[in-house]
Chains A and B, each alone.
Chain A
């Protein structure tokens, strides 16, 4: 069913459903295992070793999934900088997925680092190593998640207080919101600069590893490729979340918004693939693609997973049908995530005889951290006005108007 999304609504649905319990259970398992890890050591719960010292937590939950969590960044750039006003109704969904992506990524990071108590020394910039790319990633990600993303996610929360029964609280929420509005341009600008910096730096991170990363992936263009992939996956994540939500809660589908998202995403993917292959040619390593060892097979898999959906999504009819749009975006997401995951694991070659495969506990924790994001998402869309809806659905809500400036 097509619709024209205009504003955000709060879903009037029961919170404690079966999926909620399943994801909450997975989240609880992860938190318990995380506690066990903090009391024992990384070696007892993970498959990490001295050769592959970064595994699922850093490479999947942080490097790959924060790219997926770049929806708030990518959609906001479209809505604000390129002034595509039609994207405003989906901004709240986008920035929420970002907050959850980054939040759970940082949780995984907290479990992964061996000596977390020393984070306290990061408060003193005199301890910083200005040359460290990792420092830049850590500081930028924290600032983005704690300042910019929190600010962007504030309006639905204030709106809820404003709509509450207590007139005093309501007035205070309005006052705070009016104050915040004055700082929004500065906050949103921060939400553009910080992700540009740390998403590209995630690529530089692997550049330091030199020839330990297979030559198909290792290139001075890693920062550019990583940054563009964050945009692509950000769009993909928002698309998938909106498609699933509209299916689950009957929100209708705004084919103009979804189509435009998919169109921009597929163009960017094609540009991304072009840059990658020009770079391969420039470095003279295209021949390595035809060796068909595990590296070339993995690289070709990534390429195919990105190329097929990118071409298919150029067709307006593919973009217009919910089923094909979902399937193609899903394939593209798999390809993009694989690319983000590969350089530090599959394409990583430490000297010596090391093998890494995540342990069961590690996999459970990784899934569990993502489940925390799902649980909070389910909670948020049923308590706050997050998801977009058509005029008809909004009229049916018949409540006070939301703080619709964001």
Chain B
């Protein structure tokens, strides 16, 4: 291990420009990946915001007793899928309608709206299947007159969400693949710069594993440094968007930053392994 570390340091010292170029290239390829990640998490966050508005409204019959409605609301609130179930009286419903319609609020001047139980679902249960299942259960309650939850709207939202998810995974994998290839090509330059040393190592009986180790360490360090560089550039980009375009982008949280750095290191190791493995096979 001591020799591996010494070899990796020696190689970096021997070709500082090449090392700097490798870190920069890795940094930029990870930056492209990070920018994509930022776009993906911001889209996801926006969709989550819309999802939070998924709501089931169970209208109750006019002559329903308030105590019964409250009891039913408490019972619904106990469903595993349900985050909250709130009783809305007809007066509150009218007030809410006026507030939401703003300048057209006078259309409700003399109107009457039915009381309801407004049900919000927990995250992870806002998909069409779960929403329909909860709606069906609520519909069976004796004094519930009608249940509405914007069936088509939720179905479309989830189609969009799934599309965004699948596109995100495919593009993410493609970006990661391209990053690994670029990192591999960059580290291949380092391998070629040390081709003579590698051939001598082989001649005197070094094993492939021994030859590979310093390159894997080199890839690991460059991957982490490239990851830090990419992180810095992404953070700067998010700040620029925020300051000059007033776009309040969500940035990576601590967990994502750690995952990103690990991914950078992993890409460095994979890229290095690919480059040196290819070279060794040709010897």
A and B interact physically: no
